[in-house]
Every structure is written in structure tokens, then in C-alpha cells.
A = this chain, B = another copy of it.
Amino acid sequence: MLGAAGGIDVARFFTVFAIMLLAGKFAGEAFERLGQPAVMGELLAGILLGAGFLKVIPIGPDDPLTPVFRLLAEVGVVVLLFEIGLETNLKAMMRVGPAATAVAVVGVAVPFGLGFLYWRSGWHGYEHTVADPLTTAIFVGATLTATSVGITARVLKDLQVLHSLEARVILGAAVIDDVIGLVILGVVSGLAAGTAFSLRGALRILGVAVAFLFVALWVGLKLAPRLFGLVDRMRVRGVLVVSAFAFLLLLCVLADRAGTALIIGAFAAGLILSETNQFASIEERIKPVADIFTPIFFLSIGAAVDPRVWNPFVPESHETLAIGGTLLAIAVLGKFASGWAVPWRRFNRPAVGVGMAPRGEVGLIFAQIGLTAGILSNRLFSAILFVVIATTLVTPPLLQWTLRWGATLDQDSVP
């Protein structure tokens, strides 16, 4: 009846929501027609609507709509991981477990080591003003480690190769990578707060994440078929999609309470429900829900970027670009190496290496913590943002290209 709800402008919320969805869809369509994954269109639409240009998407801390779109984006990313989990064949995933683990470990170790050494060496010629160089070097290395499973999964989905051996290795490695990312996050958060590094603390975080995944799958695979058998006997409208959606949200919360990442819970929820009898109906009905929420996530990533700090015609940007460029090379080559981490299995190594490249939201979180703690200067933060966005933007076309180029795709399960 009224245009305002408790001080918040409903009409503005609706306008921004509609513009984000339409811009994302039309940009996605344009990219798909150019033979590129649709997600690239959503990211670029986000940049265009974001802080740097049109300022349509709220990201300022004082804007009352900022937390609202942040939460919708969170729903978007967990629904995406849930969909990926639903479409994942758990047994096929298990078979690639050792390969995925090796890829994840190499893909974390190489970028971290190279990034750390680059910073310690002093080649960058950067004057430290805000923190001690050792902590900064650890932070720079850390921001280069975590793969954004969201971006990669979406690209693999857009390209319809989610069931290939390469996709399973990449997704498995990205999830393991997230677990390792949590450990690193725990350590660097400690460093940011001034605590000394502790191997015991790091191992505890690792143990929790692994234990959560195993316990959730163990209990979930036993309970969910019964639970959803009951849901199936209910007759009120929409009970299946609502139950599946609530199951997803609650598993995310459990993951968070257990001390691990929301998206690990989301992926586990999808894996669990993929083994229920109601799987096909759940998948069909969650799709429109994902169509509404998921674009908000990708547009929000784009919106956080202000591309003006990389403007090559402004002298102040040159150092940022030089450091950003070097870090980008390390980030891409470091993950590329992970494709060769598994000498005992045959698959498209460049595709796996490229598939691990995007840093997306996880890199942004690391960079944000470093900035807030005063470990990264604004300029270094911008250089890292450049790496995050560049790895994210180059992955879709490169992945598509490497997938076509070394076509050893092994589609061992029916799409």
C-alpha cells in the first residue's frame, strides 16, 4: 500500500532488483551469443552498475539497501552451490578424491609460495607504510590461494561440461581448496589481530571442515530420503521446494555453527538431496529460485570493483598496475601448475589448471580483512582487487578455449 517499509524505500529496492536482474540477463545473453559463458556478462553488468560507473547497485556502508543485497547475494551463492551439489554424482566425485586433493594442494601451495617470495624479495619496489613486511608478504601470498568455486562452477555449467572428468576434478579441488582457504583465513585473521601463528590452531580449523563434510554427508544420506519421503506425502502447495530450500539454509547454518564455510554446507545439502527420490522435482523447482537469486551474487562481485584505480592514463595507477600485473601472472601460473599435480591420471591438464584460476569472492574477503586490519594499503588492496577481477574475467574464455583445445573430456555420467 505504501512505498516505504520501516524507513526503507521499497520502490528503490524493487527498481535496483529489477535493473540488476535485467542487466545481468541481457548481458548474459549477449555473451552467450558471442560464444562466451553468460556469467561473464553478469560480472561486467555488475561493474557497469557498480561503484565505478552508474552506482545503481548499493555498496556503501551507509546505504540501507547494502546489507539487503549482500544477503540476497549470499542466498544466491548458496543456491548455486546447492544446484551444483544436486547435479554432482557423489560416487563419481569420490573416485576423483585423491586427484582433486592433489590439485587443490598444489593450487594453494604454488601461488602462496610465489606470492610470498615476490613480496619478500622486494622486487616490487613498494614502500611499506602500514605494517611490517613479513605479515604483508604472508597476506599477499594468502590472497592468491583460494579458488572461487562459484565462478568456475557457473562457467562449467554454462558450458554444459559439469559431468566431465575435468569438471569433477576442478569442483572437488575447489571444495577442498575452500577448506584449505578456511585454514589460511583462520591463520591470517589471527595475524591481522596480532596473534602469533599456531600449527595447532590451523589443524583444528582443517579438522572441523573435513569432519563437518563427512558427518553431514553420513547423517544426511541416511536421514534425508526418509524426511523427503514424509514431505512427499504432504499436500500443501509448494511444500517440496520450500522444504528443500529450508534444508539448504539450515545446512549452511550448521556448517557456520560448526566453524566452517556456508558454501560447504550448501554443497553438502545438494549432494545429500541428489540421492533422494524427489531429486528431479527439487531440481526443477529450485531452478527459478536460483534464477532470481544467483545473478545478484555475480552482479555484486562486479559492483565492488572501481576500475578507475587501474586507469593507465593516470600516473598514480602505474605502480598499482605493475604490482597487479605481476601478482596476476603469479596467480594464473600458480593455479595453472595444479593441472600437472596428478601425474597418475590422464585428463585435460590445461583446462584443470585454468579452471582453478578464478579468485572471486574469497579473494575479496581476504583482501577486505587485510585492508581493515591495516596490513594492506589502499593501493595494494586495489592491486589485489585487480588480480581477483582479472582472474575471474579471463577464466571463462580461457576455460572454454582449453576445453575445446585438448578435448579429452570423459563424460562418464549422463547429464
Contacts and interface: CB of A to CB of B under 8 A. Distances in A.
Interface of A: 1-3, 5-8, 10-11, 13-15, 17-18, 21-22, 24-25, 28-29, 32, 38, 61, 64, 66-68, 70-71, 73-75, 78, 146, 178, 181-182, 185, 234-239, 241-243, 245-246, 249-250, 252-253, 256-257, 261-263, 285-292, 295, 361-362, 365
Contacts of A10: 71, 74, 256, 262
A74 B290 CA distance: 19
A211 B75 CA distance: 38
A249 B19 CA distance: 10
Given A288-B238, A291-B242, A252 B11 contact: yes
Contacts of A362: 1
Contact of A249 (B18, B70, B234, B253): B18
A265 to B, nearest CB: 9
Given A25-B239, A262-B1, A11 B256 contact: yes
A223 B393 CA distance: 36
Given A6-B66, A29-B235, A292 B253 contact: no
A286 B6 CA distance: 27
A10 B255 CA distance: 12
Nearest to A20: B246
A178 B15 CA distance: 23
Contact of A237 (B38, B146, B250, B292): B38
19 contacts: A1-B185, A1-B261, A3-B256, A5-B74, A8-B67, A11-B253, A14-B75, A14-B250, A18-B246, A18-B250, A18-B253, A25-B234, A238-B287, A241-B288, A242-B292, A285-B287, A288-B289, A289-B289, A289-B292
A243 B67 contact: no
Given A10-B74, A14-B249, A241-B292, 18 more contacts: A2-B365, A5-B70, A8-B71, A10-B256, A11-B257, A13-B71, A15-B250, A17-B249, A21-B242, A21-B246, A22-B242, A25-B234, A25-B236, A25-B243, A29-B236, A38-B237, A68-B71, A241-B288
Nearest to A32: B236
User: How many copies of this kind of chain does the complex include?
Assistant: 2
A242 B365 CA distance: 29
A122 to B, nearest CB: 31
Chain A interface secondary structure, helix, strand, loop or mixed? helix
Contacts of A146: 1
Contacts of A252: 11, 14
B11 A246 contact: no
A67 B292 CA distance: 20
Q: Report the 10 A-B pairs with minimum CB-CB distance, sorted nearest first.
A: A238-B291, A18-B249, A5-B70, A18-B246, A11-B256, A14-B249, A285-B288, A8-B67, A29-B236, A3-B256
A181 B13 CA distance: 24
Contacts of A7: 67
B70 A6 contact: yes
B6 A262 contact: no
A246 B16 CA distance: 10
B295 A242 contact: yes
B253 A15 contact: yes
Nearest to A41: B236
A64 B61 CA distance: 13
